[in-house]
Structure 1
């Protein structure tokens, strides 16, 4: 499935990124949580996975943009056949949205295997594949995207963000480690340390949990992701890093949930 979008004409200032990340760390409580470690042998997308459009969301207000909360420099992995997908919505106004999931193949006319109608809510949104429906296939790669319908009568005005996901087999040692975990934060720690972005972030992106580390780990993982994207040489990766920084700034201003 080959979907091409026009690259954004904007580069990240590396010095500004470094200052921003340091500031974020200074504003966060220090806790003993694992960092996200990219896979030792990462796979890379054949095409940039970025947003369409040039600024903001449908309202064109604010600096944050529609953004998939997943790696772009490399392809994020999962051991779940029913993973959780997350993205950030900049617009306060409720708008029609679609979540679409495609098989990654050479057929440019591929139809989505999921095409879910949603309504936007500002901030981080998620969608999990239901356990009641057919899951993803182990050993396969998929392209997922979210589409905000800005003006139903003008499809070209839609804002689109996308990312890839690789579904891999769960190893015996991972299964043993997870069996000993007693809460979502512990499971997220295990996943993140072993390079499974979707599973680690999926454990902590929904709700607050009873553990004070829950929100902290979510913010730490986003900070890790921003740093990883900033280390890339492409404009699209740098732009993704900048967008995640902006999302972190927004999330850090929100009150801690109880």
Structure 2
């Protein structure tokens, strides 16, 4: 399939989305050259931060961006909320690679529960002797029931970009992105989704009253645009 035949996904925020329970975003900074070198990008979760991103998958795929620098250990962790407090569900360590990295719960045969919210985090271990120097980025995810109409449409659709569009129109960020990442040869679909997300995050900033959250969104919009530029340059 060529790029010319691919539809442009229009990602929309889910109706009445939940607000994050805990601070999300990234502590990464371009000044932390121990991990990023002189790169213009940094560790970034590819997920909504203005609200809780949704999925209908019980084994969703998580994605984040790693700056183009030397490989380091990276740790992915997932917590579920029990009585309002996070409890560890999964942890895995891997070696970082530059660009977009992904991890699917199907790799460990772990399933989430519909109606539950979770906190996921990636930590780039910059200095084993000083954990405070780690780059950390996090986001929340909510598992929702798939609407019957959408379930029927997905079952009858073979083209990944059409499935991605269907999920995107319903505000199901993680499912829309997973479809494109599973077919990453067509990078334009990934860039379209990241552009849509960046715009929605930017539009949400004026409505945020908490200063730290506003700052996190400002940084996220900047990082997403830097990632888009970097990915476009590597096409």
Q: TM-score, normalised by structure 1?
A: 0.80
Per-residue CA deviation, residues 25-76 of structure 1 (Å, 9 max, x unaligned), is: xxx9796423001112111113431111432561342221100000011111
Aligned to 1:165: 141
Which position in structure 2 is the counterpart of 1:230?
202
Does 2:192 match 1:216?
A: no
Question: Which 5+ residue runs of structure 2 have no aligned equivalent?
Answer: 206-213
**How many pairs were matched up?**
223
Q: Specify which structure has the higher proportion of helix.
A: 2
Which runs of no fewer than 5 residues in structure 1 stay unpaired?
1-27
Kept in 1: contact 2:30–2:36 (CA 8 A): no
Counterparts of residues 1-258 of structure 1 (less than 5 Å): 32-55=7-30, 58-105=35-82, 110-130=86-106, 133-209=109-185, 214-233=186-205, 234-255=214-235
Q: Secondary structure of the residue that 1:225 maps to in structure 2?
A: helix
Q: Which has the higher strand share?
A: 2
Q: Report the alpha carbon displacement of residue 204 of structure 1 after superposing the two structures with TM.
A: 0.5
TM-score calculated relative to the size of structure 2: 0.88
Which runs of 4 or more aligned residues in structure 1 lie more than 6 Å from their structure 2 counterparts after TM superposition? none
Change in Cα spacing, 1:218 to 1:137, as seen in structure 2 (3 Å) is same
Q: CA RMSD in A?
A: 2.0
Cα separation, partners in 2 of 1:216 and 1:164, compared to 1, 3 Å: same
Distance 1:33 1:54, change over 3 A: closer
Partner of 1:112, secondary structure, is: strand
Q: 1:228 to 1:29 in 2, by over 3 A?
A: farther
Q: Measure, in 2, the Cα distance between the counterparts of 1:181 and 1:150.
A: 43
**Helix, strand or coil for the counterpart of 1:189?**
helix
